[in-house]
């Protein structure tokens, strides 16, 4: 693995020769993650996540060719004798509205066994992936500090409230979520552009076309890196503001090209989606930013279940504070983090101009590792990944937050219908 020489972690030969092992803090965090995923599978009301019933039907029939459906179909055959209540027999909730803490269905019975067992199969796959990352890290030649950073960032990403809920729901992005923390690490710290592009194209081809967000981020990251000479010159505040203005100009030009019909002519693949969706969902950046913001922290159910207002207020304040620090600090490492933010911002708006409906936070989980890192860098003084106490406290906060949300959804579904 070729590291970016600006990777800001202490590296020496003695550290390289140490055997990388899981610390007690890692074992506790992994245990908490497993408990949280299991409780989500058992108690979070079934069929309430976006398109979950559709994905279940496709994995049951295996009629839609996709690796996720094909794999889950094998588990379906294994567990098909368990109890199953057809979602089509559920009564729709006439009072359901988006972002209202309401359920799409009236749940008169508790979750049936078949979907729960299938979700436990997904948890088993998640645990296998985590240990696969661990065993790969044991064998690659990088410092133990780097290995600790990579492993813990993956665990914290999986522990994030919105991500852990999505991991235990039926959706095509299941395997893409595995890739997103590593995507951030390999792009920002190791500059593995071609490897990431290859992996993202594989994801796009064989899993789900939502991987196009990752491809767009890679494109703009490389574009900005070479155009702005990010590895040679430290960006000042004035330059960063100028680069954001430049990104706005690119976005406006792309929007104009769509408006006058150039993009649909150059890319016929986009044409039907641009025309059909723009009639229903106009490009409304403020509304889309709000929807994405809500979903990045937590937006459960069919885009309905919200976190508590103080959580969102705190989340917003922390993001603003850390982005301010990112603009003010000047170093080559800040360059890389700034370019990731700028590339994501550009890609986000380009995608929304092309497909205005794709504004839910679950499509942009690749931003969460970035948020965790800047929280650590500017709030915790880079102690989160190297100091077990901070790592444990942060993980416990995420765990408690998720557990409260799980049982809030359970009470609303099964006791307040």
pLDDT in tens, 403-413: 999 888 888 77
Cβ-proximal residues to 276 (8 Å cutoff; 6+ apart), any chain: none
Percent of the chain, pLDDT > 70?
A: 88
Long-range contacts, stretch 64-72, CB < 8 angstroms, 24+ apart: 66/172, 66/206, 66/207, 66/208, 67/175, 67/206, 67/207, 68/172, 68/174, 68/175, 68/207, 68/208, 72/118, 72/121, 72/122, 72/170
Q: Would you place residue 12 in the very low, low, confident or very high pLDDT band (cuts 50, 70, 90)?
A: very low
Q: What is the mean pLDDT of residues 361-386?
A: 91
Q: Which of 153, 42, 59 is nearest to 386 (CA)?
A: 153
Please check whether residue 60 is in contact with residue 73, taking contact to mean a CB–CB distance below 8 angstroms.
Answer: yes
How confident is the model at residue 11, as a pLDDT? Answer: 41
For residue range 167-202, what is the model confidence (pLDDT) as tens digits? Answer: 999 988 899 999 999 999 999 999 899 999 999 999
Q: What is the mean pLDDT of residues 259-277?
A: 59
Q: What is the mean pLDDT of residues 215-233?
A: 86
Average pLDDT in the chain: 84
How confident is the model at residue 281, as a pLDDT? Answer: 53
What tokens does 334 get?
């800040």
How confident is the model at residue 51, as a pLDDT? Answer: 83
Q: How remote is the C-alpha of 187 from its chain's centroid?
A: 15
What are the backbone angles phi and psi of residue 194, rounded to the nearest 5°? -70, -40
Q: Whole-model pTM above 0.85?
A: yes
Helix axes 24-43, 144-159, angle to 10 degrees: 20
CB atoms under 10 Å from CB of 144, counted, come to 19
For residue range 1-11, what is the model confidence (pLDDT) as tens digits? Answer: 445 444 444 44
Q: Would you place residue 25 in the very low, low, confident or very high pLDDT band (cuts 50, 70, 90)?
A: very high
For residue range 111-122, what is the model confidence (pLDDT) as tens digits? Answer: 788 899 999 999
């Amino acid at each position: 693995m070729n590291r970016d020489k600006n990777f800001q972690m202490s590296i020496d030969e003695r550290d390289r020769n140490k055997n990388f092992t899981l610390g007690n803090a890692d074992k506790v965090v992994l245990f908490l993650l497993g408990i949280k995923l299991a409780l989500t599978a058992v108690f979070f009301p079934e069929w309430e996540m976006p398109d979950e019933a559709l994905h279940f039907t496709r994995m049951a029939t295996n009629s839609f060719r996709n690796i996720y459906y094909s794999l889950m179909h094998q588990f379906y055959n294994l567990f098909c004798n368990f109890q199953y209540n057809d979602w089509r027999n559920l009564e729709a909730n006439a009072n359901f509205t988006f972002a209202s803490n309401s359920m799409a269905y009236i749940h008169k019975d508790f979750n049936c066994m078949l979907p729960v067992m299938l979700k436990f199969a997904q948890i088993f796959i998640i645990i296998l992936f985590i240990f696969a990352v661990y065993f790969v890290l044991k064998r690659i030649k990088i410092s133990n500090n780097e290995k600790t950073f990579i492993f813990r960032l993956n665990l914290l990403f999986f522990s994030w409230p919105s991500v852990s809920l999505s991991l235990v729901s039926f959706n095509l992005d299941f395997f893409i979520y595995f890739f997103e923390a590593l995507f951030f690490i390999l792009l920002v710290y190791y500059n593995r552009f071609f490897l990431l592009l290859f992996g993202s194209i594989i994801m796009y081809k064989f899993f789900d076309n939502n991987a196009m967000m990752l491809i767009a981020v890679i494109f703009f990251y490389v574009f900005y890196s070479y155009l702005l000479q990010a590895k040679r010159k430290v960006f000042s505040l004035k330059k960063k503001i100028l680069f954001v203005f430049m990104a706005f100009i690119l976005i406006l030009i792309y929007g104009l090209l769509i408006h006058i019909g150039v993009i649909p002519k150059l890319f016929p693949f986009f044409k039907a989606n641009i025309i059909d969706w723009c009639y229903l969902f106009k490009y409304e950046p403020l509304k889309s930013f709000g929807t994405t913001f809500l979903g990045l922290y937590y937006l459960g159910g069919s885009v309905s279940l919200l976190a508590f207002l103080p959580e969102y207020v705190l989340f917003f304040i922390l993001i603003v504070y850390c982005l301010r620090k990112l603009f003010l600090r000047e170093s080559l490492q800040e360059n890389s983090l700034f370019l990731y933010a700028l590339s994501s911002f550009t890609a986000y708006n380009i995608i929304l101009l092309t497909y205005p409906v794709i504004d839910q936070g679950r499509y942009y989980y690749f931003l969460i590792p970035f948020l965790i890192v800047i929280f650590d860098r500017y709030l915790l003084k880079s102690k989160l990944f190297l100091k077990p106490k901070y790592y444990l406290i942060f993980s416990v906060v995420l765990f408690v937050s998720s557990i409260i949300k799980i049982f809030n959804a359970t009470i609303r579904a099964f006791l307040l219908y």
